[in-house]
A and B are shown apart, each in its own frame.
Chain A
Amino acid sequence: MSASAVAPRAGRPAGRLRRRLHRLEPAAITGVMSRDVTNFLTYWKATTFSSILDPTIYLLAFGLGLGTIVAAVEGMEYVQFVGTGMVATAVLFSSAFSAMYGVFIKHRFQHTYDAILAAPVDVEELVTAEVAWLGLRAGVYGTAPLLVTMVFGLEPAPGMLLVPLIGAVMAFGFAGFGVFAAAAVSKIDHFNYIQSALLTPLFLVSGTFFPIDELPEGAQIASNLNPLYHCVELVRGAVFGFETSALFHILVLIGFAVAMWRLAIWRLEKRLIE
C-alpha cells in the first residue's frame, strides 16, 4: 500500500466546485453514458450477431415462406413489406428489453445505481443517460433488417438515412418504458406479463406482417395508440416516399418518448431514493 500516493492535491480549486450544480448537466449524463459504452464494448459482438441473424431468419421464414402465397402488399413485394416493417420490431426489442432487464439487474442485483447516485449525478440525469444510450443504440441496430432486406433486393434510397433517427425516437420511448417497468416490478419474472400481454401484441399488430387498413375499424383506431405502427409507417415512408401523415406519426413518437422519459424518472426516483 503506498501511503505517499495519498497526499491531498494541493490548491484544490474550491471556486470551481463551489459553483452551483444544476439539473440535467451534460457532464453527468455523458459520464453515465461512458459507463454504458465501456460495458457495451465487452459484449457488442453478441449483440451485433443476433441483431443481424434475427431479421435474416424472419425474412427467410416470412418473406420467402409466406411470400410464396402473398405476392405483393400495398404495391410492395412481400419480403420488402416485412423487411421495412421489421425495423420497428428490431428497435422495440433492442430498446424495451435492454432497458427492462439491464436496469433491473443494475439496480437490484449489481447495485450499480447506488454507486452512481453517490456521485454528483441525480436520478433525472441517470435515467436520461440510460434512455439516450439505449435509444441511440437501438436506432443504429434497428437498421439491420433494412440492410438484410437490401440483400433480398430492396433498392437503396436517400430517405433510408433517416431510418436510424426514426428508430431512435421510438427507442427513446420504449427505453423509457423499460426503465419504468424495471422500477415498477417487484420480481424479474414479472417481465413475462409485460412481454406477453403488451409487447407481443404491439409488435404483431403494428403493420409489420400485414397491413393495418385491412383490419376492422376499431382495430385501426386502436393501432394509432401503438407507437410501432407510427414507426412502421415512417420507415416505409423513408424508404418508398413520405406521405403528409408523416408529420402526425413523428409527433406521436416524440410525445410518446417525452411521456415515457418523465414517467421513468418519476418511478425510478421512488425506487432509488428512500
Chain B
Amino acid sequence: MPAPLAIRLRGVVKRFGEITAVDGLDLDVPEGTCVGLLGPNGAGKSTTMKMLTAQAIADAGEIRVLGFEVPADSKQARALCGVTPQLDNLDVELTARENLAVFARLYRVPRNDRRAAVDQALEIANLVERADTPVDKLSGGMRRRLLIARALVHRPRLLLLDEPTVGLDPQVRQELWALIDALRTEGTSILMSTHYIEEAERLADTVSIMALGRVVARGRPAELVREHAGVQTHEVYGPPLRLAEVREAAEAAGHRVRQTGTAVAILRAEDANGTLPEGITRAATLEDVFVLLTGEEVE
C-alpha cells in the first residue's frame, strides 16, 4: 500500500492576467518524505508554495494538504503546517524568544505548553544563548535558523520550505541542511523549493523538476541523473570557435550537449567510442539533468 500523501496536487492552474504561472501541476509528497521542488526562477515554485497555504487561490485543479481540501479547509491544514518563507519576515524589534512566543499563540499551542514549545524551538535553532537578543542584532544565519524554528514551534506534520538557504554562505547552509535532514529523519514531511541543485541532491528523497509551471521530471536524484544524463559527462574547455566545433561534432555523433560561457559539456560520454575531444570526464550530475530539462543554466 502506498504511503498516505501529505500533499496531493492534480491539474493545478494559476494565472496572473495573461501569464500562466502554474500550468496543470501534478505533485505528490508522501508522508514522512522530503520532496525537492527544483526549478529556475519563474518556474512557478513560489506560486505553488503560496497555493498550499491558500495565500494564492488556484484557478483550476485540486489541492489537498494533510487530507484537507484547499482552499475550503485550508485553515485546518495550516494549523498542522509550518512555513518558512523565502523572505525573512521576523519581527526585528522583538527578541528571538518573543518572535517564537507570538507564533506559538498563532499556531494555537495551548497556553500551558507554550513556554516549553518556545524553549524547544530555541534549542532546535541553537539559539538558547541568544534567546533574549533582538532579531536585528542576530547574524544572517541565526535569523534563518530562527525563521525555521518559528515554523516548528507547534510541531507541524508538514514543513513547507521556500528556498530555505537562499543567500547564505556555505557554512551556514551546511548547518541548515543538517537541521532539515534531522527533521526529515524524524518523520516530518517536507516540501522544499530550491534552485540550488546540491541542496535538492543532499536533502530530497525525490525531486520534481519544474519548468514553465509544470513538473517535467520526477524521481530520486540518482535515477533522474541516470535516466536523463547517463553516467558520465565530458567537459571541453576552449575559445568560442573551438567550442562551436566541438558542439557540432558531438551533436552530429548523437550526444546531447550543454554549453556554458567557457565550456561545452557532452552528455552520456560513456556511449562515445573513444571519439571525444580532449577534455575532462566527470560523473553526470543533477545539474546536467536540470539544464537539459529546463534549458536554463544554473547560476
Contact = CB atoms under 8 A, between A and B. Distances in A.
Nearest to B16: A274
Contact of A2 (B101, B103, B124): B124
Contacts of B16: 274
A30 B187 CA distance: 32
B120 A5 contact: yes
A72 B85 CA distance: 60
Nearest to A2: B123
A6 B183 contact: yes
Contacts of B182: 1, 3, 6
Contacts of B188: 6, 8
A1 B56 contact: no
Given A120-B106, A273-B57, A274-B50, A111 B79 contact: no
Contacts of A274: 16, 47, 50, 55-57
Nearest to B179: A1
**Counting chain B CB atoms within 10 Å of each CB, which of A6, A27, A31, A39 scores highest?**
A6
Contact of B102 (A8, A31, A110): A31
Contact of A115 (B47, B85, B120): B85
A46 interface: no
A272 B107 CA distance: 19
Contacts of B120: 5
A42 B94 CA distance: 8
Nearest to B81: A118
B271 interface: no
A146 B152 CA distance: 47
A131 B188 CA distance: 36
B178 interface: yes
Interface residues of A, number: 39
A6 B117 CA distance: 11
Nearest to A23: B75
B297 interface: no
Contacts of A17: 76, 79-80
Given A6-B124, A8-B187, A111-B87, A32 B93 contact: no
A122 interface: yes
B89 A120 contact: no
A112 B92 CA distance: 10
Interface in A249-274: 272-274
A21 B87 contact: no
B123 A120 contact: no
B50 to A, nearest CB: 7
A190 interface: no
A15 to B, nearest CB: 12
B34 to A, nearest CB: 14
Nearest to B77: A120
A39 B94 contact: yes
B63 interface: no
Contacts of A18: 76
Given A7-B186, A17-B80, A273-B56, A28 B106 contact: yes
Nearest to A32: B106
A115 to B, nearest CB: 5
A161 B83 CA distance: 45
Interface in A117-141: 117-122
A118 B152 CA distance: 13
A67 to B, nearest CB: 41
Contact of A31 (B105, B183, B187): B105
Given A1-B175, A1-B179, A273 B186 contact: no
A5 B93 CA distance: 27
B126 A2 contact: yes
A9 to B, nearest CB: 5
Interface in A44-81: none
Contacts of A120: 75-76, 78-79, 106-108
Interface string B170-205: 000001001100110111100000000000000000
B98 interface: yes
Given A17-B80, A118-B55, A120-B107, A8 B155 contact: yes
Given A31-B106, A35-B91, 6 more contacts: A17-B79, A31-B105, A38-B102, A111-B89, A114-B55, A118-B78
Interface of A: 1-3, 5-9, 12, 17-18, 20-21, 27-28, 30-32, 34-35, 38-39, 42-43, 110-112, 114-122, 272-274
27 contacts: A1-B182, A2-B126, A3-B179, A3-B186, A5-B120, A5-B123, A5-B124, A8-B186, A8-B188, A12-B157, A17-B79, A18-B76, A20-B73, A21-B75, A27-B108, A31-B102, A34-B102, A39-B93, A114-B87, A115-B83, A115-B89, A118-B83, A120-B76, A120-B78, A272-B55, A274-B47, A274-B50
